[in-house]
């Protein structure tokens, strides 16, 4: 299969690109490098720097492509509250530009990396795809808008579209920016460096942490399974983990006992979020393989960011 991955120099994009080329597929990546780093891409991946909102750029990179994985996006929930217009431009505008360019070039298959954040606060858990979305941030709104464009324009243009609602992915290569850092790598780094872990709210809020290899397997399966076309599908671990539990797992994986600071005044996001995987299992044969404990161990072993001497040196 000849594929294009937008945002393919980012955390999930690199993992997906390297998995696909290792399995014999031809992979192009388009990324503006606002965040991404192409250095981690396998040498067989064809990398180009460019903005996903630029239709002529897309025309060039879509030639002869059979399937697009659309990952290019701004991804930090808290940052989206500060810069909603930027998030809308990239996440919604980029999706619309891509779908129009696909129509122009005649590329039919597209897998959208949507997000579990579209569920927001729900009355029951685990969350399934039939529930009414309840987005609680501009980021979540951009993802539900992108889904609507995907299926509306997809139908009008005759595209084979799949939207994956990915839960909290973690694994090697995930960046730890100074602000808005994802919780798993942030906690690991703080624990290894002797710092304290800050929990917003009371720490009872739960999330579904899915190891990157499982998320990649879900994306790959979605691109190759006819039954997935026209569907929204959850991709998670199906395991509910509270932030307090995560602290315990981080302590076990690192062999440290980090101090925990509770910042009760800070918003903790939704109280619970865990994936119902029935549809992913049924349509994709998807089965998460890596437990959180194993995933944390693999992450520490494989990601040079967590080299203990480097972490301790600051
Ligand atoms: P990431 O920030 O590492 O990757 C996003 C990539 O998109 C970056 O490399 C960035 O440089 C690129 N990009 C941003 N704006 C662009 C533009 N205008 N043109 C071209 N490239 C652009 O994030 P990630 O964690 O790898 O997420 C990938 C996708 O998966 C995103 O769409 C995100 O919303 C979605 N997702 C991720 C998670 C997760 O837990 N990581 C969960 C749900 C959904």
| Amino acid 258: pLDDT | 92
Hey, what domains does the chain have and what are their CATH numbers? Answer: 2-169+210-235 (3.40.50.720), 172-208+239-273+290-313 (3.90.25.10)
**Using a 6 Å cutoff on CB, does residue 36 contact ligand 1?**
yes
Average pLDDT over residues 71-90: 96
**Using a 6 Å cutoff on CB, does residue 180 contact ligand 1?**
no
Catalytic positions, written as ranges: 139
Closest ligand 1 atom to the C-alpha of 37?
Answer: 9
- 280-298 tens-digit pLDDT: 999 999 999 999 999 999 9
**DSSP result, the chain:** -EEEEETTTSHHHHHHHHHHHHTT-EEEEEE--SS--GGGS-TTSEEEE--TT-HHHHHHHHTT-SEEEE--S---HHHHHH-HHHHIIIIIIHHHHHHHHHHHHT--EEEEEEEGGGG-S-SSSSB-TTSPP---SHHHHHHHHHHHHHHHHHHHHT-EEEEEEE-EEE-TT----SSS--HHHHHHHHHHTT-PEEEETTS--EE-EEEHHHHHHHHHHHHH-GGGTT-EEEES-S--EEHHHHHHHHHHHHT----EEEETTS----S---B--HHIIIII-------HHHHHHHHHHH-GGG-HHHHHT-
Q: What's the pTM?
A: 0.97
pLDDT band at 178 (very low <50, low <70, confident <90, very high): confident
């Amino acid at each position: 299969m000849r594929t294009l991955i937008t945002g393919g120099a980012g955390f999930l994009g690199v993992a997906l690109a390297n998995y696909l080329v290792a399995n014999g597929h031809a992979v192009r990546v388009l990324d503006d490098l606002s965040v991404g780093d192409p250095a981690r891409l396998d040498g067989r991946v064809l990398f180009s720097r460019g903005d996903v909102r630029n239709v002529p750029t897309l025309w060039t990179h879509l030639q002869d492509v059979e399937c697009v994985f659309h990952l290019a996006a701004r991804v930090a929930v808290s940052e989206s509250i500060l810069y909603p217009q930027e998030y809308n431009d990239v996440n919604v505008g980029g999706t619309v530009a891509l779908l129009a360019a696909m129509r122009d070039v005649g590329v039919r298959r597209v897998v959208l990396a949507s997000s579990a954040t579209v569920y927001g606060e729900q009355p029951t858990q685990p969350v399934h795809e039939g529930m009414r979305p309840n987005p609680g941030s501009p980021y979540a709104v951009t993802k539900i808008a992108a889904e609507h464009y995907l299926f509306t324009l997809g139908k009008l243009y005759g595209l084979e579209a799949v939207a994956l609602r990915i839960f909290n992915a973690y694994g090697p290569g995930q960046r730890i920016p100074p602000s808005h850092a994802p919780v798993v790598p942030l906690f690991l780094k703080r624990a290894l460096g002797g710092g304290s872990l800050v929990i917003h709210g009371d720490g009872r809020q739960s999330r579904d942490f899915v190891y990157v290899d499982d998320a990649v397997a879900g994306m790959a399966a979605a691109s190759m399974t006819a039954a997935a076309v026209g569907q929204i599908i959850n991709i998670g671990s199906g395991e509910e983990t509270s932030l307090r539990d995560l602290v315990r797992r981080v302590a076990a994986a690192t062999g440290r006992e980090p101090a925990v600071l509770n910042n009760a005044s800070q918003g903790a996001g939704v109280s619970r979020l865990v994936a119902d995987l029935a549809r992913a299992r049924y349509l994709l044969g998807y089965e998460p393989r890596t437990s959180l404990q194993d995933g944390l161990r693999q992450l520490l072993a494989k990601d040079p960011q967590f080299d203990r001497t480097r972490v301790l040196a600051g």
